[in-house]
């Protein structure tokens, strides 16, 4: 199961990883790089509105515990857990970027191996430039 990434998100995230000093690189950054490398890259206007991408609002359920989270995926500087905004560099952000509403993603998080069901995804519809 490969994630689907818009060209803009791919370039933005790739630049973030490349610009990070080696001393600040984390395990999640390496995992995110692998996800980007294996992802299906599509033109911004062709990505589904139900795909988790940067600035997406989403609801996800831990299938094992039944716990549901409502979050927004953002760049690291915008992350604020008090506002339910998580970084693309967080373990959960890396796990879910590029996956669609209805999918179940299996991922090793700090709390162990989890099956995460994506219940809802909200995105602004990209505008086509003419």
Structural domain boundaries in the chain: 4-122
The yes-or-no verdict on residue 126 having pLDDT over 70 is no
| Residue 24 confidence (pLDDT) | 81
| Residue 130 confidence (pLDDT) | 46
Buried b (16+ CB within 10 A) or exposed e, 64-91: eeeeeeebbbbbeeebeeeeebbbbbbb
Fold classification of 4-122 (topology level): Chitinase A; domain 3 (3.10.50)
The yes-or-no verdict on residue 48 having pLDDT over 50 is yes
Distance (Å, rounded) from C-alpha 4 to C-alpha 85? 21
pTM of the model: 0.88
Between 33 and 24, whose confidence is greater?
33
Which helix (H) or strand (E) element contains residue 107?
A: strand 104-109
pLDDT digits (tens, 9 = 90+) for 90-108: 999 999 999 999 999 998 8
């Amino acid at each position: 199961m490969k994630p689907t990434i818009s060209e803009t998100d791919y370039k933005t995230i790739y630049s973030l990883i490349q610009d990070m000093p080696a001393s600040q690189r984390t395990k999640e950054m390496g995992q995110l790089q692998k996800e980007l490398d294996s992802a299906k890259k599509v033109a911004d206007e062709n990505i589904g509105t139900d795909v988790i991408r940067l600035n997406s609002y989403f609801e996800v359920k831990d299938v094992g515990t039944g716990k549901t989270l409502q979050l927004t995926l953002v760049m690291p500087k915008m992350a604020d857990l008090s506002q339910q905004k998580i970084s693309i560099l967080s373990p959960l952000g890396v796990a879910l970027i590029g996956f669609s509403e209805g999918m179940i993603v299996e991922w090793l998080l700090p709390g162990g191996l989890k099956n995460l069901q994506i219940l809802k995804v909200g995105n602004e519809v990209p505008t086509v430039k003419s």
